[in-house]
Amino acid sequence: MRVRFWGTRGSIPVALTSADIRDKLALALVAASGRTFASYEEAHAFAHAELDPSITHTFGGHTPCVELEVPGDEYYVCDMGSGARPFGVHVLARQARRSAVVNVFMSHVHWDHIMGFPFFGPAYVPGTKIRIHGCHDVLEEAFRLQQREPCFPVDFSQLGADVEFVKLEPGRSHRVGALTVTPHLQLHSGDSFGYRFEHGGKSVIYSTDSEHKLENRQEAESFARFFQDADLVIFDAMYALADAISVKADWGHSSNIVGVELCQMARARHLMLFHHEPANNDATLEGLLREARRFEELTRGEQPLRVSSAYDGLEVDL
């Protein structure tokens, strides 16, 4: 199974500005001062090996959209944030005029998780089959609402694709195409649902927009069971722990440190920090990743937990 991240930012899309690019260039020039490079390749290798990731890399970008690729003809994707636009370009290029079948799994219908759908190219192509799965009663209403006048020029009813809404039941395993999927209720304004996906002996958890009260033992244990032995846990790490337990308590999101704790309880293998705060720049996000890795080292039991931070374009093979 391959997991491909098309959108990793929370709440609203962000882009690097010209000032950000100049800043990164200046930092790179300072780091390289005194060095000479005979070729582009040599300079490239230096940047890759010696520059700090906060200089050479950016987290992006788009709001949540995460694809799970498994052998077979159908597509599987979590949420339709603005990352759904490049995901749609990928689907159309790959299909080369053949009709696509796209299975969508919705955590919830807050705007950052549905805003990419009106820009999802395959939705305009007759013959495309889109099945939107979720546990909310308001699922269909939310998708129709955002394309209603005067907010959007193309009404939902004008889409070329055949769009079907499929209600899933939390706590129960469902078979959807090649995947087994189990939704799990999460604490968030209007409720959100995490998903456990299983295929070929591998498991991926998609758990975004979810606040945790770890002092509530029952809640922590229920999530540890949900995450149990997962190969990859995509986790809402919007805040730093200090913010999550003080000013931003009850805002419906979690932190890098809580992610480590829950994954350790669950003996999960790989934690992926996700749904980045739009106000955080690359250096701050690198800092949150370092902090989570350090905390993991200090609290490690028998099984190490790999910790990464998601960015647009990242692919993880399981």
- Positions touching Zn ion (CB under 5 A) are 10, 110, 112, 209
Residue nearest to Zn ion (CB): 110
Residue 236 CB, nearest approach to Zn ion (Å): 8
When the beta carbons of 189 and 216 are compared against Zn ion, the nearer one is: 189
Residue 106 CB, nearest approach to Zn ion (Å): 11
Residue 301 CB, nearest approach to Zn ion (Å): 31
When the beta carbons of 78 and 289 are compared against Zn ion, the nearer one is: 78
Residue 196 CB, nearest approach to Zn ion (Å): 19
Query: Residue type for 171, please?
Result: G
Would you say 80 and 122 are in contact if contact means Cβ atoms under 8 Å apart? no
Give the distance, in angstroms, between the CA of residue 256 and the centroid of all CA atoms in the same chain: 14
> What does the block give as tokens for 181?
């999927």
Residue 82 CB, nearest approach to Zn ion (Å): 11
Tell how strand 101-105 and strand 129-134 pair up: parallel
Residue 8 CB, nearest approach to Zn ion (Å): 11
When the beta carbons of 209 and 312 are compared against Zn ion, the nearer one is: 209
When the beta carbons of 106 and 289 are compared against Zn ion, the nearer one is: 106
Residue 113 CB, nearest approach to Zn ion (Å): 6
Entry field: residues in the chain:
318
When the beta carbons of 8 and 203 are compared against Zn ion, the nearer one is: 8
When the beta carbons of 10 and 194 are compared against Zn ion, the nearer one is: 10
When the beta carbons of 4 and 110 are compared against Zn ion, the nearer one is: 110
Tokens 């939705």 belong to 123
Would you say 143 and 134 are in contact if contact means Cβ atoms under 8 Å apart? no
Which 3-state string (H, E, C) describes the chain?
CEEEEEECECCCCCCCCHHHHHHHHHHHHHHCCCCCCCCHHHHHHHHHHHCCHHHHCCCCCCCCEEEEECCCCCEEEECCCCCHHHHHHHHHHHHCCCCCEEEEECCCCCHHHHCCHHHCHHHHCCCCEEEEEECCCCHHHHHHHCCCCCCCCCCHHHCCCEEEEEECCCCCCEEECCEEEEEEEEECCCCEEEEEEEECCEEEEEECCCECCCCCHHHHHHHHHHHCCCCEEEEECCECHHHHHCCCCCCCCCEHHHHHHHHHHHCCCEEEEECECCCCCHHHHHHHHHHHHHHHHHHCCCCCCEEEECCCCCEEEC
Task: For the beta carbon of residue 215, count every other beta carbon within 10 angstroms.
Answer: 8
When the beta carbons of 133 and 253 are compared against Zn ion, the nearer one is: 253
Residue 278 CB, nearest approach to Zn ion (Å): 10
